[in-house]
Amino acid sequence: MEQSNFIRTIIKEDLENGKRDTVVTRFPPEPNGYLHIGHAKSIIINFGLADDFNGQTNLRFDDTNPLKEDQEYVDAIKEDVKWLGYDWEELHYASNYFDEMYNRAVLLIKKGKAYVDDLNQDEIREYRGTLTEPGKESPYRNRSIEENLDLFEKMKNGEYENGQKVLRAKIDMSSPNLNLRDPVIYRISHATHHNTGDTWCIYPMYAFAHPLEDAIEGVTHSLCTTEFEDQRPLYNWVVAECEMENQPQQIEFGRLNITNTVMSKRKLKQLVDEGIVDGWDDPRMPTISGLRRKGYTASAIREFVQETGVSKGSGAVDEMMLEHYVREDLKLSAPRTMGILKPLKVVITNYPEGESEWLEAENNPENEEMGTRQIPFSREIYIEQEDFMENPPKKYFRLFPGNEVRLKHAYFIKCNDVIKDEDGNVVELHCTYDVETKSGTGFTGRKVKGTLHWVDAKSAVSAEFRLYEPLVLDEQMKEEALEDKDFLDYINPNSLEVVQGFIEPNLKDVQPQDKFQFFRHGYFNVDSKYSTPEKPVFNRIVSLKSSFKLNK
RNA sequence: UGGGCUAUAGCCAAGCGGUAAGGCAACGGAUUUUGAUUCCGUCAUUCGCAGGUUCGAUCCCUGCUAGCCCAGCCA
């Protein structure tokens, strides 16, 4: 059952009442950075809606500003869209329409609907007026059509410096909608474009270019975010005055916000440029590539976005919801295994020295098709440091002196002695095991409250685990407003914790992007950048939910 | 304080004049060799507020209030 939302309703009506007989959407990123999960929402809405109505979706690079764009971003964007599971019908570049756009601008001039302005940037701003006061007309506003044509051509021919002249639409300097106060539609920029090279030195502005791109491609429903709502009258003006055959309809939806998540390309780029993160695909980044490297699956992202809905609201979705969908997705597909993040050695004093045995373990008790594996067990093992307390509070089910617990897939052990170093730190535990309690034998003689995961010390494989927290926390960001600080001053110092531990020997050949559940720790992904055959590196995708709270 | 937009549970969100879907979170309880999962149950007599229209209003009208967006030669 597909969810109901206002855009779907509009499209359905357009189809039913004959306003449209097909649906064409487009995903139009500017190649000036990597895609983030907010873009994923746009992708899913555009491709999803077109799919549902047997329409088509194009990928179009909105590359009208050579100063900020780069081929690297074009490539990354294509990869991310594909990885999310979508195939575009046609691939376009706005820059391929520069000739057409130029001609349409000339048409506007000929119709007396556009003029070349000599005002500089500051003057244009002053003449624009304010939110509450109307603007005033530029002294160059009433140049003759011939002069405008001549000047515009000279702009194109490179006879002026950057900023010396612009082409403006002639609309209404007193409009309450600032976008209609003679918006600039072409500026001079002597810059090399990633696609058109040095062919052009004038480039169309978004407000002029975007509606033309949509119209040229026959887009029916041009879906964008709400900050473009005020541009809609201008969008329609451009389509009409440029006499475009197709008339796309712009519809705006609320952008995706997630708690404790930076969702601004500008800020994300800042984090990358200043080296605060390890590139656009740093697992802490909300980029598609970052989420992928962290271990998120495309289907989890799709589920999340779909369940999160489409509306015009501007609220923030709880990050817990994103985490929920990746747990849900990996629950049956990720093998469940044991990893020790912060090891504490345990010697089982009554286990024969030099001996070891193999124990059978299910790979996923909720998915029997995943089969079983054999894991070694012997006299010395590692358990988690936090699974032992010398002086536990009430309701602590794990190990403490005199207490007996179950070792997952193995035996019951009881803690007898605590070995400490000179500083009083617990460095080793001496326990005894009970042969009769072996897993799978159906032993019911007595019960224990806790089950611990463990790894055989002799055969354990060293591994690195990377644990993440949000890069910035909303609570701390609130102070930013009060204290006039940059958001970089609020980077969470605990956003990355690296620990060295152990994994089961049968995990020694893991490959990048392999995903596992380590019992009680959560879901992990083999890092695609730092993991090596000698030393696997695991990124924690998400922890398991836990109702356990240590109250001291 | 000009214009545009939005207000439904702690969060996201259906609902389109006939008496409040769903998901996340939370909280009980059962099962459990992951304090996980699973299961069962609880969670808006009321839809920002105040009026009005109507037999009947979350839905239509009016007026308030709150929040978001707009003064790039960015997109």
Q: How far is A397 from A399, CA to CA, in rounded Å?
A: 7
Q: Does residue A265 share a domain with residue A202?
A: no
Average pLDDT, chain A: 96
Q: Which residue is nearest to nucleotide B27 (CA to C1')?
A: A547
Indicate if A30 belongs to the active site.
yes
CATH number at residue A190: 3.40.50.620
pLDDT tens digits, residue range A324-358? 999 999 999 999 999 999 999 999 999 999 999 99
Whether A291 is covered by a domain: the verdict is: yes
Torsion of CA A476, A482, A486, A488, to 10 degrees: -10
Whether A233 is covered by a domain: the verdict is: yes
Q: Does residue A193 share a domain with residue A235?
A: yes
Decide which of A69 and A481 is more confident: A69
Give mean pLDDT, residues A147-152: 98
Q: Does residue A276 share a domain with residue A248?
A: no
Distance CA A313 to C1' B19 in A: 26
Q: Does residue A246 share a domain with residue A116?
A: yes
A8 is in an annotated binding site: no
CA separation (Å) from A161 to A118, A199, A209? 12, 16, 22
Q: How many domains does chain A have?
A: 3
Q: Does residue A303 share a domain with residue A246?
A: no
Distance CA A162 to C1' B8 in A: 51
Whether A55 is covered by a domain: the verdict is: yes
Q: What nucleotide is nearest A29 when CA is compared to C1'?
A: B75
- Say if CB A303 and CB A330 are below 8 A apart: no
Indicate if A265 belongs to the active site.
yes
Question: What is the extent of the structural domain holding A439?
Answer: 336-460
A341 is in an annotated binding site: no
Whether A91 is covered by a domain: the verdict is: yes
Cα Rg of chain A, angstroms: 31
For A526, the 3-state DSSP assignment is: strand
A178 is in an annotated binding site: no
Structure tokens that stand for A268 in this block: 């994300």
CATH number at residue A530: 1.10.1160.10
pLDDT tens digits, residue range A296-321? 999 999 999 999 999 999 999 999 99
For A393, the 3-state DSSP assignment is: coil
% of chain A at pLDDT higher than 90: 95
Decide which of A13 and A489 is more confident: A13
pLDDT band at A392 (very low <50, low <70, confident <90, very high): very high
Q: Does residue A432 share a domain with residue A351?
A: yes
Whether A552 is covered by a domain: the verdict is: no
Whole-number pLDDT of residue A551: 67
**Is residue A159 scored above 80 in pLDDT?**
yes
A324 is near strand B: CB distance < 7 Å: yes
- CB-based contacts of A198: which residues, under 8 Å, 6+ apart? A192
pLDDT band at A478 (very low <50, low <70, confident <90, very high): confident
A42 is in an annotated binding site: yes
Q: Does residue A342 share a domain with residue A210?
A: no
Distance CA A7 to C1' B53 in A: 30
Whole-number pLDDT of residue A481: 58
Whether A547 is covered by a domain: the verdict is: no
CATH number at residue A449: 2.40.240.10
Q: Which of A240, A255, A270 is the last residue of a domain?
A: A255
**Is residue A552 scored above 90 in pLDDT?**
no
Indicate if A515 belongs to the active site.
no
**Is residue A480 scored above 90 in pLDDT?**
no
Measured in whole angstroms, the distance separating CA A294 from the mean position of its chain's CA atoms is 10
Distance CA A364 to C1' B38 in A: 14
Q: Does residue A74 share a domain with residue A48?
A: yes
Q: What nucleotide is nearest A549 when CA is compared to C1'?
A: B35
**Is residue A28 scored above 70 in pLDDT?**
yes
A6 is near strand B: CB distance < 7 Å: yes
Any idea which of A248-257, A360-369, A476-485 has the lowest mean pLDDT? A476-485
Q: Which of A205, A223, A255 is the last residue of a domain?
A: A255
pLDDT band at A407 (very low <50, low <70, confident <90, very high): very high
Q: Does residue A518 share a domain with residue A391?
A: no
- Name the strand (E) or helix (H) holding A58: strand A56-61
A31 is in an annotated binding site: yes
Q: Rounded to 5, what percent of chain A is helix, strand, coil?
A: 30, 25, 45
Whole-number pLDDT of residue A185: 98
Q: How far is A170 from A116, CA to CA, in rounded Å?
A: 10
Q: What nucleotide is nearest A133 when CA is compared to C1'?
A: B2
Q: Does residue A35 share a domain with residue A152?
A: yes
Structure tokens that stand for A474 in this block: 């909303």
Distance CA A284 to C1' B5 in A: 32
pLDDT tens digits, residue range A122-140? 999 999 999 999 999 999 9
A197 is in an annotated binding site: no
**Is residue A252 scored above 80 in pLDDT?**
yes
Whether A489 is covered by a domain: the verdict is: yes
Give mean pLDDT, residues A472-496: 82
Q: Does residue A522 share a domain with residue A444?
A: no
Active-site residue, from A12, A30, A68, A342:
A30
Q: What nucleotide is nearest A309 when CA is compared to C1'?
A: B13
Whole-number pLDDT of residue A479: 66
Of residues A216, A210, A201, the one with CA closest to residue A167: A201
Decide which of A549 and A412 is more confident: A412
Q: How far is A441 from A276, CA to CA, in rounded Å?
A: 53
Active-site residue, from A8, A113, A255, A342:
A255
pLDDT band at A208 (very low <50, low <70, confident <90, very high): very high
Burial, A173: exposed, middle or buried (Cβ in 10 Å; 0-12, 13-18, 19+)? middle
As for the ipTM of the complex, it is 0.97
pLDDT tens digits, residue range A164-204? 999 999 999 999 999 999 999 999 999 999 999 999 999 99
Listed as ranges, the nucleotides of chain B within 7 A of a protein C-beta are 1-8, 10-16, 21-27, 33-37, 67-75
Q: Does residue A65 share a domain with residue A207?
A: yes
Cβ-count burial A245-259 (b if 16+ within 10 Å, e if not):
eeebbbbbbbbbebb
Q: Which of A216, A233, A255 is the last residue of a domain?
A: A255
Of residues A126, A128, A105, A127, the one with CA closest to residue A116: A105
User: Diameter of chain A by CA atoms?
Assistant: 101
pLDDT band at A486 (very low <50, low <70, confident <90, very high): confident
Burial, A118: exposed, middle or buried (Cβ in 10 Å; 0-12, 13-18, 19+)? middle
Whether A548 is covered by a domain: the verdict is: no
Q: How far is A188 from A200, CA to CA, in rounded Å?
A: 9
A308 is near strand B: CB distance < 7 Å: yes
Q: Which of residues 439-478 of A touch strand B (CB under 7 A)?
A: 439-440, 450-451, 453
Whole-number pLDDT of residue A351: 98
pTM of the model: 0.96
**Is residue A144 scored above 70 in pLDDT?**
yes
pLDDT band at A99 (very low <50, low <70, confident <90, very high): very high
Whole-number pLDDT of residue A1: 56
Whole-number pLDDT of residue A350: 97
